[in-house]
Amino acid sequence: MPRTRSVPPAPAAAVGPVRLGPGARAALRPAAAGIDAGFWHARREVNARTSIPQGPGLLESAGNLHNLRLAAGTAEGEFQGAYPFVDTDVYKWLEAAAWQLAQEADEELEAHVDRITRLVAAAQQPDGYLNTWFQLVKGGERYQDLRWGHELYCAGHLIQAAVAHHRATGRTELLDVAVRFADHIDSVFGPAGSGKPLDGIDGHPEIETALAELYRETGERRYLDLAAYFVDRHGHGLLGGDAYCQDRVPLREATNVEGHAVRQLYLLAAAADLATEAGDDELRTAAERLWQAMTTTKTHVTGGLGAHHDKEDFGDPYELPNERAYCETCAAIASVQWSWRMALLTGEARYSDLIERTLYNGFLAGVSLDGERWLYVNPLQVRDGHTDPGGDQSARRTRWFRCACCPPNVMRLLASLEHYLASTDDGGLQIHQYVTGRYRGDGITVGCATEYPWNGTIALTVEETPDEGPWTLSLRIPQWCRDVRVRCGEESYDGPVTDGWLRLERTWAVGDRVVLELGLEPRLTAADPRVDAVRGCVAIERGPLVYCLEQADHPGGGLDDIVVDTTGPLGVKHRPDLLGGVTTVVAAGRRQRIRDAGWWPYTPYLPQGTSPADPTPGSPDSEPVELTAIPYYAWANREDGSMRVWLPTS
Amino acid sequence: MPRTRSVPPAPAAAVGPVRLGPGARAALRPAAAGIDAGFWHARREVNARTSIPQGPGLLESAGNLHNLRLAAGTAEGEFQGAYPFVDTDVYKWLEAAAWQLAQEADEELEAHVDRITRLVAAAQQPDGYLNTWFQLVKGGERYQDLRWGHELYCAGHLIQAAVAHHRATGRTELLDVAVRFADHIDSVFGPAGSGKPLDGIDGHPEIETALAELYRETGERRYLDLAAYFVDRHGHGLLGGDAYCQDRVPLREATNVEGHAVRQLYLLAAAADLATEAGDDELRTAAERLWQAMTTTKTHVTGGLGAHHDKEDFGDPYELPNERAYCETCAAIASVQWSWRMALLTGEARYSDLIERTLYNGFLAGVSLDGERWLYVNPLQVRDGHTDPGGDQSARRTRWFRCACCPPNVMRLLASLEHYLASTDDGGLQIHQYVTGRYRGDGITVGCATEYPWNGTIALTVEETPDEGPWTLSLRIPQWCRDVRVRCGEESYDGPVTDGWLRLERTWAVGDRVVLELGLEPRLTAADPRVDAVRGCVAIERGPLVYCLEQADHPGGGLDDIVVDTTGPLGVKHRPDLLGGVTTVVAAGRRQRIRDAGWWPYTPYLPQGTSPADPTPGSPDSEPVELTAIPYYAWANREDGSMRVWLPTS
């Protein structure tokens, strides 16, 4: 009796990000998955065939590699780039390439990685320090500007890349560089009285998660302790007490997320790491509290985070503007990283609910369908008559940015995406996200075939199972889903969904099939009334996808005068020709005639039910128009024009 | 038969800003007024007794005067301040003091003005150049950074101060400095081929209106020509083509206001000056077009301008956020300056409608009731739980700013306010704004007694009139007013209001009385449906005043759950004890129970009429609350707390 049947190899679990260390106190352990076809496979193919391969050329033309050569003394010229953190573009690309190499051999890519790794190693100073901006522009003056210098932030991304490179390839060249840098940092930073020369933190968190990962990779506890030190020194005024630098209040006391969104989220991911690896329950409680506050009061419907352009700030509770939503692509990525750590730590499904929403919407909008152009900010509305200033904060996709943090960040998440999909525990396997491919826990492999998110049918097959005893296959039922059906073999199952999980406990045999049907009826969504920006509006959603209107689908006018008819039916139309193949939602709407108020747009309030339209006799106050909504992630892939997610209802 | 009877002296018309030059092509000529009592008199008393007298001390402690001494070589030390335009704080204060001296002698104030004028003169370089930042910090390197250097902007404010000083006192010390600087600039800047070394503009307009005023004061046509040159060189990419610097498109081609709001408005004020003084009809047409576009699409209900904190930008059409409204106090002032020029140029009442709205709301909110604290930005909402970052862009009043442009700008407008109230033409006198005091045209003086804006009764008395023939007393009927009554002597008059003017043409005698009654019923106001930020909301207004709710008047909770009952009556209650004496508007409202949606605030849309409140049996979905609205200008004068202008209706 064979224990397993032959199945395609799934990547080893140890190859992805967030591999738990010994003694980790997590409810769940990360499991790997393979993505073989379907929605995410297509996006990852573009990432693998276009985005990642174009990286070295872009890093060359933007000067990042040139800076490393300058620091190594093997080239001459001026430092290129306007920011002290330009090295991180290189490191994030290396991390993306490493995760990609974990999936398939690629000699050309490997050669680039080796070449760039050598560049990085050559630029490192003898004592382990490495930052081309400070080495070249600041005359080697280190740690004098922790508020803005980004030296530890850069170190963090180098360490993350090195961990990925080591996990993916088993090679140590980059890890050696990272360990030298980490040891250098450990020799410099520490609390007063520790004998270390500097009691300080970096204005931009990132070193903290990186050190936790380096601990996991090397087993060296010092790195985790250093991460804990950095996390806890935030919020005590070392950098002047700004929320921007995560320095206004300690995480343990904070009541809501605040300040620069990406900085806050990277710091919270580290808090989750410390709760997991060091058993710090107070940090766990703080992270749970802040996640809840964030999702309840500071998250856009797309999962996008960050309401202010100014200082890239979270903004106030319920301050969630549409056209000025910042929703930096990097913040979506950081949110996924934090939420995944919370999902493992707690075992709660809601964290993966937010991951799903973010991946399909706020994150994926950051990269064009062809993988060549990017959005740094992800607004929920572009108005008729929008005058785009261009640049990093443009509402038009851009080939590369002056501050190019987002593109390689997208690349690394897409290249490691299969590690955010499933988990395992002593009782079985948990599937967090549905893809065509396979999930692999300890001695368990479950295959999956689905056209999700276009189709709600998810067909699961047990491909490998331990010989004896029951185990539980846990399926996350998305928070948005109101209609769930499941069949195990021929029998339908209507067991309860508990805290977001449908748990199927039984003695499984290879070949057992489970078919999950998630109802994908399109729906209209309203916001908490305190979200002033969308009062009187609805969003169209279907499954995990948030939809939007684009001007390209509505010829003959803009979008600012469009109203959706909430009483009309919502139709669904799959359009294989459109935007790489999308299911559109068709709704009834109208173009509303707007009364000309002369030069002043504020007029006496007319009681409810009174139309604001022009009452000119004989003129209709609106004309019907069929609205075609496309998935938000696919916007800004055609000609420039207006866009909106939230649609007025009157 | 005496032509006039004895009346208190009114200031000579020539003493205020915007004195038309010879050959000016304006529909109206500025007339002076005296403000003797009432609303604006009280504000001006605070300005004269507190704000202006505190100026020298603040300019000393902030280092502005120290910088002048450094430049003059009479002190030692470091340059103080973070910006290249800190000199303008001094100049704007000098201008305010000069207008104040025009109203009443004040030896102490005059001594300060003389002393600071000597400092300015001593800091000036032999060839006329003067900018302490460039002299001290930049090693005297001039005009190398026109995009950000603000050298001509500073020159402009110096010239404005000098013109005011000369008009007010007849003295020439400061005017001599200004003329030397202007001649220097005229020797440096000019079009290619003119023989001038530099074809350039300043990133921050201001020099243009200043040169027009200097032309008016000196009769030297060169200055007007130079102003015309600067206006027209904007928009041709000399500074890189940014809207921020008013360099993306020439005014003559622009279709809407854009970029940095204050910069745009100062430039447009200069366009109006050139249309007036040089008869440039194309600039007039452009200014009219842009004013209309601005008021229709980019103006907050308070008259506030500028939707973005980021780059202090106007934003897109109909993008008028509440909590993130920028509405810089300086932009309100610039708007008044521009609109007044347009009012004189065209004779149209709507420009003074906007002036009234701006003065009573967006402008006046910029200074505290005690005249000691300031707002740089003027939001229309402060949320419950707002975490104020402090600093220049705080929603809390601040004693002074790092960038202290607004406080002395408020001082100079308040000190010269009587010059924005009335005009004259060959046919008579036009009253644009109603104050207790007197208006004086050519041989005409009209006295006025009113408790406006608290009371709509405006009692006018002819105090001086030419011997013979009829003339027209034109009264502006505010755009918001739906109920106008007027009595001439004992007879009521129901003549038409034409384009905002009620014109009373007759042969007047000294002692003739006109009583204008403007209905002040409080009202609810709605916005154009394209103003997404206020969909489903109303504002409370009464007369020219926009009202707001403050948390201080609504104990027992915040403001984010409050809804106004639009069917209830609006009550009026004068509260002499409150905020220096205000009339409050009392409305019916309720606190709405908000359904707890768990961790995700976006929920299935419930069809219209369905309450989003918690349907828990037995629990009321809202509790009634009496809403007390105070005038917006008086907000932020008590303890910190939330505030909102736009109130949800459901």
pLDDT tens profile B551-600:
999 998 899 999 999 999 999 999 999 999 999 999 999 999 887 879 99
Q: Test B299 with A601 for CB contact under 8 angstroms.
A: yes
CB contact residues (below 8 A), chain A span 113-132, against chain B: none
| Size (chain B), residues | 650
What's the confidence (pLDDT) of residue A624?
A: 94
The rounded mean pLDDT for chain A is 94
Strand partners, A439: A33, A446
In angstroms, what CA-CA distances link A546 with A42, A334, A508, B129? 19, 20, 36, 59
- For residue A421, give the DSSP letter: S
Chain pair A-B, CB pairs under 8 angstroms:
186
List CB contacts (< 8 A) between A258 and chain B: 387
Q: Roughly how many angstroms between the first and final C-alpha of chain B, as a whole number? A: 66
List CB contacts (< 8 A) between B527 and chain A: 601-602
| Size (chain A), residues | 650
State the Cα angle at A453 between A452 and A457, rounded to 5°: 40
Separation of alpha carbons B519 and B571, rounded Å: 14
Q: Please give the share of chain B, as a percent, with pLDDT higher than 90.
A: 89
A34-48, A293-307, B605-619: segment of lowest average pLDDT = B605-619
Cβ atoms of A98 and A165 closer than 8 Å: yes
Separation of alpha carbons B445 and B439, rounded Å: 6
What confidence tens digit (pLDDT) does each residue in B491-507 have?
A: 898 778 999 999 999 99
Q: Which band of pLDDT confidence, cut at 50, 70 and 90, is reported for residue A1? A: very low
Half-sphere exposure of B15 (CA within 13 A, CB side): 23
CB contact residues (below 8 A), chain B span 273-302, against chain A: 291-292, 295-297, 299, 301
Residue A562 neighbours by CB under 8 Å, 6+ apart: A549, A554, A589, A590, A591, A592, A625, A627, A644, A647, A648
List CB contacts (< 8 A) between B319 and chain A: 323-324, 383
Separation of alpha carbons A235 and A245, rounded Å: 9
**Which residue of chain A is at minimal alpha-carbon distance from B613?**
A529
**Which residue of chain A is at minimal alpha-carbon distance from B384?**
A317
In angstroms, what CA-CA distances link B394 with A197, B315, B326, B374, B540? 37, 20, 11, 10, 25
Residue B503 neighbours by CB under 8 Å, 6+ apart: B472, B473, B474, B475, B495
Q: Does A323 touch chain B (CB under 8 A)?
A: yes
Mean pLDDT of B316-339: 97
Residue A143 neighbours by CB under 8 Å, 6+ apart: A149, A151, A188, A198, A200
Query: How do beta strands A582-592 and A428-431 pair?
Result: unpaired
3-state helix, strand, coil in chain A (%, to 5): 35, 20, 45
Helices (H), A23-106: 39-46, 52-61, 64-72, 87-103
Q: Test A536 with B536 for CB contact under 8 angstroms.
A: yes
The string of DSSP codes covering B572-636 is EEEETTSTTSEEEEEEEEEEEP----TT--EEEPPPTT---S---TT--SEEEEEEEEEEGGGTT
- What tokens appear for A281 in the block? 């329950």
Q: Which of A384, A585, A605 is the best substitution to test chain B (most B C-beta atoms within 10 A)?
A: A605
List CB contacts (< 8 A) between A296 and chain B: 597, 599-601
What's the confidence (pLDDT) of residue B534?
A: 97
Nearest Cα to Cα of residue B60 among B84, B85, B82, B81: B81
Query: What is the nearest CA distance from B7 to chain A, expressed in angstroms?
Result: 39
Active-site option among B151, B312, B463, B541? B312
3-state helix, strand, coil in chain B (%, to 5): 35, 20, 45
Facing residue for B605 by CB, picked from A525, A561, A607: A525
Q: Test B524 with A605 for CB contact under 8 angstroms.
A: yes
Q: Please give the share of chain B, as a percent, with pLDDT higher than 70.
A: 96
Fill in the amino acid letter for B16: G
Mean pLDDT of A607-635: 73
CB contact residues (below 8 A), chain A span 352-371, against chain B: 353
Separation of alpha carbons B448 and B425, rounded Å: 20
What confidence tens digit (pLDDT) does each residue in A168-191 have?
A: 999 999 999 999 999 999 999 999
Mean pLDDT of B233-250: 97
What's the confidence (pLDDT) of residue B597?
A: 78
Separation of alpha carbons B333 and B378, rounded Å: 13
Q: Which of B381, B532, B610 is the best substitution to test chain A (most A C-beta atoms within 10 A)?
A: B532
What's the confidence (pLDDT) of residue A616?
A: 42
Q: Which long-range contacts (CB under 8 A, 24 or more apart) does A351-355 make?
A: A351/A291, A352/A432, A352/A433, A352/A476, A352/A500, A353/A476, A353/A478, A353/A479, A353/A480, A353/A500, A353/B600, A354/A295, A354/A299, A354/A303, A355/A420, A355/A432, A355/A433
**Which residue of chain B is at minimal alpha-carbon distance from A530?**
B560
What's the confidence (pLDDT) of residue B467?
A: 87
- What tokens appear for B631 in the block? 């005038």
Identify the sign of the CA torsion B32, B38, B40, B45.
Answer: positive
Burial A534-554 (b: 16+ CB within 10 A, else e): bbbbbbbbbbbbbbbbbbbbb
A8 has pLDDT over 50 = no
Q: Which of A351, A352, A570, A602 is the best substitution to test chain B (most B C-beta atoms within 10 A)?
A: A602
What's the confidence (pLDDT) of residue A499?
A: 95
Locate tokens 């503007």: which residue? A321
Q: Does A455 touch chain B (CB under 8 A)?
A: no
- What tokens appear for A255 in the block? 């009541």
CB contact residues (below 8 A), chain B span 600-639, against chain A: 600-608, 612
Q: Which stretches does DSSP call E strand in B341-435?
A: 381-382, 422-425, 428-431
What's the confidence (pLDDT) of residue B66?
A: 98
**Which residue of chain B is at minimal alpha-carbon distance from A257?**
B387
Separation of alpha carbons A429 and A431, rounded Å: 7
Element (H, E) at A646: strand A646-648
Active-site option among B154, B245, B330, B405? B405
List CB contacts (< 8 A) between B291 and chain A: 599
Rg (CA), chain A: 25
A157-171, A387-401, A463-477, A552-566: segment of lowest average pLDDT = A387-401
Chain center to CA of B567: 34
Query: What is the nearest CA distance from A562 to chain B, expressed in angstroms?
Result: 10
Q: Test B523 with A605 for CB contact under 8 angstroms.
A: yes
List CB contacts (< 8 A) between A641 and chain B: none
**Which residue of chain B is at minimal alpha-carbon distance from A386?**
B316
Separation of alpha carbons B265 and B254, rounded Å: 13
What's the confidence (pLDDT) of residue A614?
A: 41
What's the confidence (pLDDT) of residue A449?
A: 98
ipTM higher than the 0.90 cut: yes
A607-621, B19-33, B60-74, B262-276: segment of lowest average pLDDT = A607-621
Backbone angles phi, psi at B187, to 5 degrees: -80, -20
Chain center to CA of B520: 23
Facing residue for A607 by CB, picked from B387, B566, B597: B566
Nearest Cα to Cα of residue A604 among B361, B540, B520, B354: B540
List CB contacts (< 8 A) between B383 and chain A: 316-319
What confidence tens digit (pLDDT) does each residue in A214-267 have?
A: 999 999 999 999 999 999 999 999 999 999 999 999 999 999 999 999 999 999
Q: Which of A260, A600, A640, A647 is the best substitution to test chain B (most B C-beta atoms within 10 A)?
A: A600
Chain center to CA of A76: 38
- Walk me through the domains of chain B, giving residue ranges and CATH numbers: 44-233 (no CATH), 422-518 (2.60.40), 524-597+611-648 (no CATH)
What's the confidence (pLDDT) of residue A617?
A: 41
Separation of alpha carbons A21 and B25, rounded Å: 82
Query: What is the nearest CA distance from A323 to chain B, expressed in angstroms?
Result: 8
Q: Does A318 touch chain B (CB under 8 A)?
A: yes
Q: Test A566 with B603 for CB contact under 8 angstroms.
A: no
Q: Which band of pLDDT confidence, cut at 50, 70 and 90, is reported for residue B620? A: low
Mean pLDDT of A552-556: 93
Q: Which band of pLDDT confidence, cut at 50, 70 and 90, is reported for residue B608? A: low
Q: Does B538 touch chain A (CB under 8 A)?
A: yes
Mean pLDDT of A2-22: 63
Q: Which stretches does DSSP call E strand in B268-380?
A: none
B477 has pLDDT over 90 = yes
A196 has pLDDT over 90 = yes
Facing residue for B317 by CB, picked from A309, A324, A383: A383
Q: Test A602 with B317 for CB contact under 8 angstroms.
A: no
The rounded mean pLDDT for chain B is 94
Strand order in A471-476's β-sheet? A491-493, A484-488, A513-518, A457-464, A445-450, A436-440, A29-37, A422-425, A428-431, A471-476, A501-506, A497-498
What's the confidence (pLDDT) of residue B13?
A: 61
Q: Test A648 with B535 for CB contact under 8 angstroms.
A: yes
List CB contacts (< 8 A) between B532 and chain A: 322, 381, 533, 537, 646, 648
Separation of alpha carbons B119 and A76, rounded Å: 50
**Which residue of chain A is at minimal alpha-carbon distance from B611?**
A529
**Which residue of chain B is at minimal alpha-carbon distance from A647?**
B532
Q: Does B528 touch chain A (CB under 8 A)?
A: yes
Q: Which band of pLDDT confidence, cut at 50, 70 and 90, is reported for residue A34? A: very high
Q: Which of A290, A316, A323, A559 is the best substitution to test chain B (most B C-beta atoms within 10 A)?
A: A316
What's the confidence (pLDDT) of residue B4?
A: 38
List CB contacts (< 8 A) between A526 and chain B: 602-606, 612
What's the confidence (pLDDT) of residue A7?
A: 40
What's the confidence (pLDDT) of residue A618?
A: 42
